[in-house]
Amino acid sequence: MNDMTRIDQNARRSRALVHHGIAYLSGQVPDDRSQDIADQTRQVLAKVDELLGQAGTDKSRMLSAQIWLKTMDDFAAMNAVWDAWVVPGQTPTRCCGKVELNDPACRVEIVVVAAV
């Protein structure tokens, strides 16, 4: 019995996976890494919106989010974009930390889990 739906799967990962009514998104990063943190965050959140839609849910049903930043100097600018994007009263649990990302030009990566 296959009770999982994999979205945009390749040999290494699925960009999203739905299992027992929960959508798990892989880490989403910006495509245009020449932009500042605000624009990179907007790009990532647009990808999150798209994947959640493909999984049959939306940002109002997020359960948790992990946000990884290249530098905590970007925290306030990232939060400004995040705060404008989340649904008031429907915010998920969240953590944010500084990590070494796989591309030095990448300033943000976001991982989301949502109810379907």
HSE-CB of 46 using CA atoms within 13 angstroms: 9
The residues, any chain, with a CB within 8 Å of residue 63's CB and separated by 6 or more, are 22, 92, 93, 113, 114, 115
69, 71, 76, 101, 111 from 104: Cα distances, Å: 11, 11, 20, 7, 19
Q: What is the mean pLDDT of residues 25-51?
A: 98
Share of the chain above pLDDT 90, in %: 97
Q: What total of structural domains would you count in the chain?
A: 1
Give me the helix-helix angle, 37-54 and 75-85, nearest 10°.
40
- The CATH code of the domain that includes 92 is 3.30.1330.40
Which domain range does residue 64 map to? Answer: 4-115
Kindly report, residue by residue over 74-101, the tens digit of the pLDDT. Answer: 999 999 999 999 999 999 999 999 999 9
pLDDT on residue 50:
98
| Residue 1 pLDDT > 70 | no
Mean pLDDT of the chain: 96
Q: Please work out, in degrees rounded to the nearest 5, the angle formed at the alpha carbon of residue 111 by the alpha carbons of 106 and 112.
A: 145
